[in-house]
Amino acid sequence: MNEHEWWAQQFEENRGHLRAVAYRMLGSLSEADDAVQEAWLRLSRSDAAGIENLGGWLTTVVARVCLDTLRSRASRREEALEAQLSEPAANRQRVSDPEHDALLADAVGIALLVVLDRLTPAERIAFVLHDMFDVSFDEIASIVGRSPSAARQLASRARRRVQGAGTPSQADLNRQRQVVDAFLTALRGGDVEGLIAVLDPEVVVRVDEAAARPGAPREIRDAKTWAKGAVAFAQLAQSLQPMLVDGAVGLVWAPGGRLSRVLRFTITSGKIVDVDIIADPARRRELDLAVLKE
């Protein structure tokens, strides 16, 4: 075995770890694979004999590649948002790849990816490396170009955003979760009576323009009326995930980890009394989203 082959073998032993790191940072299988491939290219061009800790060196390279990708993505976001706002609502819905969504949910969790996508690039790198892969703040500092103390603050700030702040008591959230779980089970099963059972008889459902079908009402009142129409979306409901929305339990639809729809609920006395279905990109970005603890 020559030297190149030996280093290639060492790299392959680290590939799974590197892909996991990149995947959590980027939320994209293809971009994660690109980052890992870039790490191999940089290794093959380096004086590898001088690398004392190959795994750490490769992790640092992948993290820096991911940071560049996230910064580039952030710089394009405003332009992409303007394009979304000008695009007809009927054309905005992305086609979900069930296999990809299943892999995504299994590896990371759709709700976590949605929140991570709202962090700054440096916050996301610091949180993922420290909280998920136990990388020291000294190492993180060299990647994000900050001091170790600043890197610690980045991770702490990201952690607060991921976990949510100022939320109701766990007991209240558990009660809300039971109602939302019952709603989701009934919706996925096309169970009209099950939906009616968790809805206030005079529930008010508001659908923003980006989420509404052409010609469909923007506001619906009466549990029976909405339940009968809602079951038509039973297949879509398979991909809905519970999440904290403005401090209360709600639902999100995020194909491929990219937020598309949010259902924000007001729950009183065990019944859903108010629903906002939000798809407009500007309104989505104003929502306070956090991961719901199991």
CATH code assigned at 270: 3.10.450.50
Which are the contacts of 54, defined by CB distance < 8 A and separation ≥ 6?
A: 10, 11, 14, 48
Residue 105 sits at φ, ψ, to 5 deg, of -65, -35
Report, as an integer, the average pLDDT of 32-48: 90
Residue 201 sits at φ, ψ, to 5 deg, of -55, -30
Q: Same structural domain for residues 149 and 28?
A: yes
| Amino acid 77: pLDDT | 55
Distance CA 75, CA 246 (A): 26
H or E element in which residue 242 lies:
strand 240-245
Q: Same structural domain for residues 54 and 157?
A: yes
CA dist 204 → 200, 226, 266 (Å): 9, 9, 10
pLDDT tens profile 120-153: 999 999 999 999 999 999 999 999 999 998 999 9
Q: Residue 155 CB: number of other CB atoms within 10 A?
A: 22
pLDDT tens profile 182-198: 999 999 999 999 999 99
Q: Same structural domain for residues 32 and 153?
A: yes
Q: How many domains does the chain have?
A: 2
CA neighbours closer than 13 Å in the CB half-sphere of residue 12? 6
| Amino acid 105: pLDDT | 46
Whether pLDDT at 239 is above 90: no
Q: Same structural domain for residues 24 and 154?
A: yes
| Amino acid 85: pLDDT | 35
CATH code assigned at 135: 1.20.140
Look up the domain containing 182 and give its range.
170-290
Q: Same structural domain for residues 284 and 185?
A: yes
